[in-house]
Structure 1
Amino acid sequence: MTQHQQLHHLLRQIEQELQALQLWQQVAPSREALGSTEPFCVDTLSFCEWLQWIMLPRFDDMIRQQQPLPGSSDIAAMAEEAFKGVSADTSTLLGLMHQVDSTLRRVH
């Protein structure tokens, strides 16, 4: 499986897990909220919203266009901190974040 295929598979699992935990939003945040210049849009979005509305679409575009993927990632560290405030069991979702990091750290 290529790195792009592996990442695509992980993104679909993240999407399913967000939905299963009822952390998936039906309505997109405002254009202003999505336009934040802060890392992870911490000033305007929850981490789960950032996953759904920023990270997943950007990676999907990169995969679709077969663009080079980032050579490093530390999404899991942010997820660990963000999920402290979530009442649902986010252990599977956190594991997926670690897998994304590992996948992106693979030598291209």
Structure 2
Amino acid sequence: MSRQVMFLLKELELTLQRLELWQDEMPSEDALASTQPFAVDTLEFHQWLQFILLVRFRNMLATGQALPTAVAIYPMATEVYKNKLKEHALLLDVLARLDETLSGKPVERLQ
């Protein structure tokens, strides 16, 4: 599973870049220290993906830690991008596959 997750994390990074959501400048330490789910109070969702999710998951894989199995990234993404589903279809697909890989359960996808 870790190999598949590593592949999906790389695909997530490339998709964020393709959609021009990738940022070169890191948010402030205060913004990254949010305790809210998805750092909704301090970061845009794509920033959370880049600077928190990708960093944490890659660190977990590198140090042999167990990855979370109770995940719901796709539902949050569909809410965030509900007015731009077509524009973010590639991103939503990657996140659905990441959720499915981590949880071992199919994700009910929007049509």
Q: What secondary structure is seen at the aligned counterpart in 2 of 1:59? A: helix
Q: Alpha carbons of 1:28 and 1:106: their partners in 2 closer, same or farther (altered >3 Å)?
A: same
The residue number in structure 1 matching 2:17 is 19
% identical aligned pairs: 42
Deviation by residue 1:54-75 (Cα, 9 ceiling, x = unmatched): 0000000011112111122110
Residues 41 and 53 (structure 1), Cα distance of their counterparts in 2 relative to 1, 3 Å cut: same
Choose 37-46 or 86-95, whichever is displaced more. Answer: 86-95
Q: Give the Cα separation in 2 of the matches to 1:90 and 1:71.
A: 24
List structure 1 segments (4+ residues) > 3 angstroms apart after TM superposition. 85-88
Kindly provide the amino acid, as one letter, of the partner of residue 31 in structure 2: A
Aligned 1:34-49 pairs, distance under 5 A: 34-49=32-47
* Structure 1, 87-96 or 62-71: larger mean CA deviation: 87-96
Q: What root-mean-square deviation, in Å, do the aligned CA atoms of Structure 1 and Structure 2 show?
A: 1.7
Aligned to 1:84, the other structure's residue is in SS state coil
Q: Which residue of 1 aligns with 2:2?
A: 4
Whole-angstrom CA distance in 1 between matches of 2:77 and 2:52: 14
Q: Deviations over 1:22-81 (max 9, x none)?
A: 000110000000001111000000000000000000000011112111122110000101
> What's the TM-score once normalised by structure 1's chain length?
0.91
TM-score (norm 2): 0.88
Contact 1:17-1:93 at 8 Å conserved across structures = yes
Question: 2:92 matched to which residue of 1?
Answer: 94
Identify, as 1 or 2, the structure richer in helix.
1
Higher RCO (CA 8 Å, separation ≥ 6 residues): 1
Matches within 5 A, 1:24-103: 24-84=22-82, 89-103=87-101
| Contiguous gaps of at least 5 residues in structure 2 | 106-111
1:84 Cα deviation after fit? 2.8
Q: Which runs of 5+ in 1 are unaligned?
A: none
